[in-house]
Amino acid sequence: MDNSDSVDRSSSELGTTTITNGSPTVGAGLADSGNGFAVPPTAASMDEALQLVENVLQSDIGVNTLLTRLKQSNVSARDFAAFLKKRSTLEEEHAQGLKKLCRTTHESARRADNRQGSYAQNFDEITRIHERMADNSIQFAQSLHQMHEDLHELANSTERGRKHWKQTCLNAEKRVQDSESTMEKAKAKYDSLAEDYDRARTGDKQSGRVFGIKGPKSAAQHEEDLHRKMLGADSDYASKVQTAQTHRQELVSTLRPQAIRALREVVSECDSGLTLQLQKFASFNEKLLLSNGLCVSPLKGQDSGQGPAPRSLRDVVYQIDNEKDFNQFIASHASKVGTKRPDIKYERHPTMAPAQQTPPSASRQTQAIYAQPTPPPYVMQAPPGQNGPYGGSNFSQGGPTQSFPAAVQPVTAERSYSGSPQQHQFPSPSASGPPQLPPPRFASAGHSPAAAPVVMTANNGNHTANPPPLKPVFGSTLEALFDRDGSAVPIVVYQCLQAVDLFGLDVEGIYRLSGTASHITKLRAIFDHDSSLVDFRNPENFFHDVNSVAGLLKQFFRELPDPLFTTVHYRELIDAGRIDDDARRRDVLHAIINSLPDANYATLRALTLHLNRVQEHSITNRMNAGNLAICFGPTLMGPNTGPDIADAGWRVRVIDTILQNTYQIFDED
């Protein structure tokens, strides 16, 4: 019982067995003693593992096992060689790109339109540091390429050895199998003749005659023939056994040990070569990192013997003196300073007598008029607290408008919207959700900012017919709506964008799928009646049909007397769309958009920011910038009819460029 337990324990402690330098090396696992400490294998377990390896190798499966192991080593060597080749290519591309970047940057820094002085000197040193790092990377890439070549050659040599010994062993085993098969056939024939002879010898000799080729035979003759045949079969069977024994003895004693020894050497060679290349790879990586580290931060206190010691990247950067460079640049223009101009003073003409009393001249009256303080320009500012359900910030085309006291409010060159008692607000992105439009404010009588709006629902059962158009919206110009309602963004646009932001960003095909015609007709009639009474924050007010809201918005833009981009700028926009360079096309479109009228600019800005939010949800709604451009190209720039039908593709390109560069054309604040 104790002996079996010890054998089981020794077997459980054995780990994997590997072959190194032609001899088996046992990687015995360390058994757990129960208290968390590993117990090293004993000499007995090592000997048992070695004997186990020899038993496997000398068996019939030994050669096939070694061939399989050699194939694994060969595949691993080829994989690592491919890795080295790819890594070498990447490192060389990186080094060449870095050297090219340093060269172009060095040339650019030497131009007259760049800073000079300490900046130029130290920046030149920065590029040289990067060039040295690129040289290190090139050397590393060359070393990896050489390793790839060596390992690839080793893998090819290993594969040739594997195929040679595989064929040799297979041929020897086939000879043994063929000789054993022939032996078995001879034995079967010998056994059959022996049984026939035994029956003929012990049977009734007078029972009859046996007919042969030359006539009938007697029992004695038949017995004699069988005996003769049996002796021949016995001799043949004995020779076949001798041949099979010879072949098997040759295989077991000569060919198989020779093949096993050769295959173990090939496996050891392949594994050793792969290990060597792995060690070289680790050393080259350490050398590369160390060399780059010394380039960035050289060791202190070492005398190179070739001039001043190299400086670290940090020291180079910290030696840039901005104040010194600035003073030197300004002082270099001292020679261009002209003579000091005389003071400006008033000189009375001699013809005017000192005592003469004359009324103030027209010019003095004019001076007096201009000497009076000028009131500050009117800036549209929304009353505090009117952020609506979406929040938002105040915007102008040039950036956020700031509030100043009336006596010191500056005259600003930024674009503002005239004719409105407040500054208009546009959507901006926020961290809590998609940016939304602020609620519009109205200048019409009877609508106090503090009064709650009267909401007209679309499905009011008390109204069987569409309401009369008291304040038409569709078909009116943006300027007319601006003057009437006091909102740079028309109320119908604001309400539709608000509804899609709240309920349609994740609807598949938004702005592409058509809504219900009857719903669109009813919603249009409500807006033409009095748009200030509409509130699309409640989906019941648009029949829970957000596609109809999207269709209503596109219908509003289609029916504008003058398109949103205006007819005046149409040809400029088409010409801009023909520009191939993306950056230049964007800048030209930006300039054209800045020249639009106030109402057109504000409406386009609100719509573009909204469509940008739509395309940000393109994974769910399937509406990217290109699809939206196809939907809104003819809507915002005019229908594809008449002589302009050939411009359809350029219109789509214009809208797509604007959507792709939303925050470059419109500030996101």
Does residue 28 belong to any structural domain of this protein?
A: no
In whole angstroms, what is the distance from residue 181 CA to residue 195 CA?
21
Residue type, 58: Q
User: In this predicted structure, what is the pLDDT of residue 428?
Assistant: 39
Query: For 248-278, b where at least 16 C-beta lie within 10 A, e where not — what string?
Result: beebeeebbeebbebbbebbbbbbebbeebe
Residue 633 in contact with residue 647, Cβ under 8 Å?
Answer: no
Average pLDDT for consecutive 10-residue bins of the chain (669 residues)?
41 41 46 55 79 80 85 91 94 92 86 84 89 92 92 90 83 82 88 86 57 65 84 87 83 81 88 92 93 88 66 88 88 80 80 55 37 36 37 37 34 36 38 43 38 43 64 93 93 96 95 93 94 92 95 94 93 93 95 95 96 96 94 84 72 94 83
**Residue 352 falls within a domain, yes or no?**
no
pTM of the model: 0.41
**Considering just the CA atoms, what is the radius of gyration of the chain in Å?**
49
> Which of 271, 297, 323 is at the close of a domain?
297
SS3 644: helix
> What is each CA distance from 535 to 441, 496, 504, 527, 554, in whole angstroms?
13, 10, 16, 11, 19
Domain boundary among 264, 297, 330: 297
Structure tokens at 622: 């399937």
Is 355 within 8 Å of 149 (Cβ atoms)? no
Residue 447 within a domain: no
Residue 84's pLDDT is 93
**Count of the separate structural domains present in the chain:** 2
Supply the pLDDT for residue 136. Answer: 92
Per-residue pLDDT, 427: 40
Residue 383 burial (C-beta neighbours within 10 Å; 0-12, 13-18, 19+): exposed
Predicted pLDDT at 551? 95
The Cα 54–Cα 22 span in angstroms is 12
Task: Look at residue 592 and tell me if it is in a domain.
Answer: yes
How many CB atoms are located within 10 Å of the residue 485 CB? 23
Residue-level pLDDT at 302: 62
**Is residue 86 situated within a structural domain?**
yes
Q: How many CA atoms lie within 13 A of 158 on its CB side?
A: 30
- The domain in which residue 191 lies consists of 54-201+222-297
Looking at the domain assignment, is residue 340 inside a domain?
Answer: no
Output the CA–CA distances (angstroms, integers) from residue 597 to 485, 562, 633, in the order listed.
17, 12, 20
Given 270, 297, 324, the domain boundary residue is 297
What pLDDT is attached to residue 618? Answer: 95
Burial of 44 (0-12, 13-18, 19+ CB in 10 A): exposed
Sequence-separated (6 or more) residues with CB below 8 Å from residue 627: 512, 618
Whichever domain contains 232, its CATH number is 1.20.1270.60
CATH of residue 484: 1.10.555.10
pLDDT at 628: 95
Alpha carbons 285 and 281: distance in angstroms, whole number? 6
Write the CA distances from 59 to 11, 126, 512, 528, integer angstroms.
21, 67, 75, 98
Question: What is the SS3 assignment for 217?
Answer: strand
Would you say residue 145 lies in a domain?
Answer: yes
Residue 103 belongs to a domain:
yes
